[in-house]
């Protein structure tokens, strides 16, 4: 008698199913082999069960003579129920006897090679104890022993645990790792769930924000559908981006999914938290490690910060503040990875087996999905342990993140993404407060040197606020943070605001430390920089001479702080048109820095750049070009193509090309610098305005007077509003616009504007300044 087709799959086929490459083909290939076994391993919610459901239905349709048995494998009781269902389905004799050993009956029946071909799907086999632990009947073998290796049968397992998969399917070659979807598949799933996508760009952003995890995408689609038309992909995405609490709320929302095992949440955060609880019950130290990792940036989590610390020394802080002199780093802080392992490797193995953490190719850094991190933090908050691990994270990163000077840049670059995560983790414990403030101070210092001014300002301000509240306004550490805030304002072209803070710091240090203390001298040098930016060069020179002479006497002629003061004085002399004096200082500084710091140190490059400017203004264009090219190439290699110092070197080379009549090359560089500065600094930043001004000069020399005029009017008006009518840069833009008008035949307008420029330059720069003399020559020539 022919046996009816059998299948015990409890779920209908999903009409929205999206095929995942060749995964189903791989499953079919391995399950077609005699006694074939294969496991789908991956994070909860990545679609393992959905693949298994689809494969079950395809197999039943393609091969009606093959039995397809579904067993939910979450607990021993559920597995035993699944085996009883098989016994009932095939009507095994003796299965209902009071003392029947149903697992043994099923095992014997499935092992009979005369029976039809079969496949058992073990879904959600996540707990090793279910299959290899002692059951309720001590005389019975572990349940894994009742899974026959029969030539006419195969086994498909879905699990979050790679180690359990290995034991069930007999080797890693029989494991198929299931990760998040590729973007095209994720978009197709969202489209099928919603029936229609009105905005593909928003849909792409949403699936990217959900990290291409199928359950998260299905959950979002269900949320949107349920609230349509008041909800949409765009509105969901906007809510998701508001902040962590909004993301957690959305991802905790359970809309129900009838193709998930009864009682299983369709909310992705709840799904992952089942894994967390399981790991905590089996190995609490592994759960603790996961908890700590959830506060780091999701990528590049260094092993050195995760191992139990063996530390000596104190948290590091920069000795001097923002003059860019080298601070001391006298720490012996280190983590010795050769000491006792304390179970670290076992903990990492558990987390990687459950696909919660991945290991980099180098083997010494780790990654987590951002949503898994969020889920972990929400779990810790519910358990009342969030602050505990937040404090661990802050203390570890603070202990190892060094001051931001050049010698530490490699370490800073590697750790900085984790420092950015710490910005919002102000500790509750007062004893950790200064460690956090120091971390943000050092991080802000590094960010400022990298040209990331918004990030630097945020860190500097938070560090300053914390230190003012805990240490007081006049503490040296508070003053250092205040000075860093002022330095970032200086970088942003906010010179008056910077001046105000620098004065506060300088006056406090004079009173507490004395006028010739190195920290006081640094404050005076910084104040001079703020005056220099405002075009108040006589005041700046007076301070810079004082700083330079005292530094020479106190620290020595070749001390970094002395060299910085000489460099700053040279810049002021250059602005005053005293180019021979500036050249003498610049050559001295450059040669000393080359010898002490190296030719490619950022401070050396700054000296070379300044000397090139002096050569250019002296008409020594070939010498200027040679230095400009050298500085630009080394800056690109050391700092990056869009670093502010690299852009400055490119802008200066463009000016040299212009002086040499190489206008096409000048224009190409000038446009590149202007566009990058607009994007990074803003359209009204003084450096952006300088780029626009220089590009206008190139247009003028090419006879493109209309384009030149348009830029020069824009620069002059913005400079007046941003810098003031008498700022030297504003006066330069007035002179350039006058030249443009003269070239266009607007003689009266040009003469009137240049006369205004002469009057202002005589007042601001003095009658003997080269720029004043240039304007006077133009007025005299045009008048005659």
Mean pLDDT of 41-62: 95
Query: What pLDDT band is residue 197 in, cutting at 50, 70 and 90?
Result: confident
Per-residue pLDDT of 597-641, as tens digits, reads 999 999 999 999 999 999 998 999 999 999 999 999 999 999 999
pLDDT of residue 431: 84
Residue that terminates a domain, selected from 251, 269, 301: 251
The three-state secondary structure class of 325 is coil
Residues 96 and 115 in one domain: yes
* Rounded Cα gap, residues 16 and 188, in angstroms: 9
pLDDT of residue 136: 61
The three-state secondary structure class of 411 is helix
Q: Is residue 288 part of a domain?
A: no
Mean pLDDT of the chain: 90
Across the strands, what pairs with 68? 7, 119
* Rounded Cα gap, residues 405 and 321, in angstroms: 10
Q: Is residue 420 part of a domain?
A: no
Residues 468 and 577 in one domain: yes
Residues 45 and 132 in one domain: yes
Residues 170 and 209 in one domain: no
DSSP string of 266-328, one letter each residue: --HHHHHHHHHHHHHHH-HHHHHHHHHHTTS-SS-EEGGGTSPP---S-----SS-TT-PPPP
Q: Is residue 349 part of a domain?
A: no
Residue that terminates a domain, selected from 251, 269, 304: 251
Residues 168 and 210 in one domain: no
* Rounded Cα gap, residues 658 and 651, in angstroms: 11
Of residues 133 and 505, more confidently modeled: 505
Domain that holds residue 124: 23-177
The CATH number that applies at residue 63 is: 3.40.50.300
Residues 202 and 131 in one domain: no
Phi then psi for residue 308, to 5 deg, are: -55, 130
Q: Is residue 2 part of a domain?
A: no
* Rounded Cα gap, residues 699 and 705, in angstroms: 7
Q: Is residue 472 part of a domain?
A: yes
Residues 555 and 645 in one domain: yes
Per-residue pLDDT of 98-111, as tens digits, reads 888 999 999 999 99
Q: Is residue 312 part of a domain?
A: no
Give the total number of structural domains in the chain. Answer: 4
- In sequence order, which residues have a C-beta less than 8 Å from that of residue 500 and are 6 or more positions away? none
Q: Is residue 152 part of a domain?
A: yes
Residues 569 and 707 in one domain: no
CB 143 within 8 A of CB 103: yes
Residues 619 and 646 in one domain: yes
Residues 488 and 571 in one domain: yes
As a whole-number percent, the residues of the chain with pLDDT over 90 amount to 79
pLDDT of residue 192: 94
Q: Is residue 457 part of a domain?
A: yes
Rounded to whole angstroms, what are the CA distances from 397 to 301, 418, 782? 11, 8, 65
* Rounded Cα gap, residues 7 and 68, in angstroms: 5
Residues 468 and 548 in one domain: yes
Mean pLDDT of 1-30: 84
Reference 449, options 609, 325, 532; nearest CA is: 325
Phi then psi for residue 760, to 5 deg, are: -70, -40
Residue that terminates a domain, selected from 153, 177, 201: 177
The CATH number that applies at residue 523 is: 1.25.40.10
CB 674 within 8 A of CB 691: yes
- In sequence order, which residues have a C-beta less than 8 Å from that of residue 249 and are 6 or more positions away? none
CB 532 within 8 A of CB 490: no
DSSP 175: E
Q: Is 156 a residue whose pLDDT tops 90?
A: yes
The three-state secondary structure class of 157 is strand
Query: What pLDDT band is residue 362 in, cutting at 50, 70 and 90?
Result: confident
Residues 459 and 574 in one domain: yes
């Amino acid at each position: 008698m022919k046996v009816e087709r059998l299948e015990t799959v409890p779920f209908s086929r999903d009409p929205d199913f999206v095929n995942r490459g060749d995964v189903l083909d791989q499953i079919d290939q391995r399950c077609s082999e005699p006694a074939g076994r294969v496991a789908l391993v991956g994070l909860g919610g990545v679609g393992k069960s959905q693949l298994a459901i689809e494969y079950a239905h395809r197999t039943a349709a393609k091969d009606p003579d093959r039995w397809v048995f579904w067993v939910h494998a979450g607990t021993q009781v559920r597995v035993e129920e699944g085996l009883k269902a098989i016994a009932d389905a095939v009507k095994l004799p003796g299965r209902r006897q009071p003392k029947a050993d149903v697992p043994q009956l099923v095992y014997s029946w499935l092992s009979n090679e005369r029976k039809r071909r079969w496949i058992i799907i073990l879904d959600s086999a996540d707990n090793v104890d279910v299959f290899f632990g002692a059951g309720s009947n001590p005389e019975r073998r572990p349940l894994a022993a009742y899974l026959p290796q029969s030539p006419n049968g195969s086994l498909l397992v879905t699990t979050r645990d790679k180690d359990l998969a290995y034991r069930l399917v007999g080797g890693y070659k029989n494991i198929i790792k299931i990760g998040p979807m590729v973007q095209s598949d994720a978009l197709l799933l969202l489209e099928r769930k919603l029936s229609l996508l009105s905005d593909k760009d928003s849909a792409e952003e949403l699936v990217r924000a959900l990290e291409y995890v199928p359950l998260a995408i299905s959950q979002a689609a269900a949320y949107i559908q349920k609230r349509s038309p008041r909800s949409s992909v765009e509105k969901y995405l906007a809510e998701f981006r508001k902040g962590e609490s909004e993301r957690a709320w959305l991802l905790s929302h359970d809309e129900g999914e009838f193709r998930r095992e009864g009682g299983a949440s369709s909310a992705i955060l709840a799904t992952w938290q089942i894994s967390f609880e399981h790991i905590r019950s089996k190995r609490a130290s592994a759960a603790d490690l996961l908890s700590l990792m959830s506060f780091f940036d999701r990528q590049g989590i260094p092993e050195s910060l995760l191992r139990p610390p063996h530390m000596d020394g104190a948290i590091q802080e920069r000795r001097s503040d923002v003059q860019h002199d080298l601070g001391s780093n006298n720490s012996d802080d280190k983590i010795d990875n050769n000491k006792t392992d304390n179970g670290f490797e076992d903990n990492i193995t558990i987390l990687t087996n459950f696909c919660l953490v991945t290991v980099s190719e180098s083997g010494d850094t780790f990654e987590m999905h951002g949503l898994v991190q969020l889920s972990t933090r929400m779990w810790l908050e519910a358990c009342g342990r969030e602050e505990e691990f937040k404090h661990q994270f802050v203390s570890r990163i603070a202990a190892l993140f060094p001051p931001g000077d050049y010698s530490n840049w490699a370490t800073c670059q590697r750790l900085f993404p984790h420092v950015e995560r710490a910005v919002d983790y102000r500790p509750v414990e007062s004893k950790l407060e200064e460690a956090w403030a120091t971390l943000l101070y050092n991080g802000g210092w590094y960010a400022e040197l990298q040209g990331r001014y918004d990030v630097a300002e945020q860190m500097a301000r938070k560090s300053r606020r914390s230190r003012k509240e805990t240490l007081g306004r006049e503490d040296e550490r508070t003053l250092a943070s205040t000075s860093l805030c002022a330095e970032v304002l200086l970088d942003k072209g906010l010179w008056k605001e910077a001046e105000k803070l620098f004065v506060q710091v300088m006056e406090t240090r004079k009173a507490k430390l004395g006028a010739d203390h190195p920290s006081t001298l640094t404050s005076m040098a910084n104040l001079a920089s703020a005056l220099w930016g405002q075009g108040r060069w006589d005041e700046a020179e007076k301070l810079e001479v004082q700083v330079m002479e005292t530094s020479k006497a106190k620290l020595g002629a070749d001390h970094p702080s002395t060299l910085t003061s000489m460099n700053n004085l040279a810049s002021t002399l250059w602005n005053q048109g005293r180019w021979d004096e500036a050249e003498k200082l610049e050559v001295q500084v450059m040669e000393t820095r080359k010898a002490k710091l190296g030719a490619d140190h950022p401070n050396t490059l700054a000296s070379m750049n300044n000397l090139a400017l002096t050569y250019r203004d002296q008409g020594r264009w070939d010498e200027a070009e040679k230095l400009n090219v050298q500085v630009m190439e080394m800056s690109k290699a050391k700092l990056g193509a869009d670093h502010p110092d690299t852009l400055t070197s490119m802008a200066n080379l463009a000016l040299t090309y212009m002086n040499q009549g190489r206008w096409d090359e000048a224009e190409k560089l000038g446009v590149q610098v202007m566009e990058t500065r607009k994007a990074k600094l803003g359209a009204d930043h003084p450096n952006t305005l300088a780029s626009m001004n220089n590009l206008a000069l190139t247009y003028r020399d090419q006879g493109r007077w209309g384009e030149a005029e348009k830029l020069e009017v824009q620069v002059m008006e913005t400079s007046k509003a941003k810098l003031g009518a008498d700022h030297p840069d504003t006066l330069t833009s007035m002179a350039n616009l006058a030249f443009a008008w003269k070239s266009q035949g607007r003689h009266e307008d040009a003469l009137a504007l240049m006369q205004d420029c002469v009057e202002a330059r005589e007042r601001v720069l003095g009658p003997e300044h080269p720029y004043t003399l240039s304007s006077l020559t133009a007025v005299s020539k045009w008048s005659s």
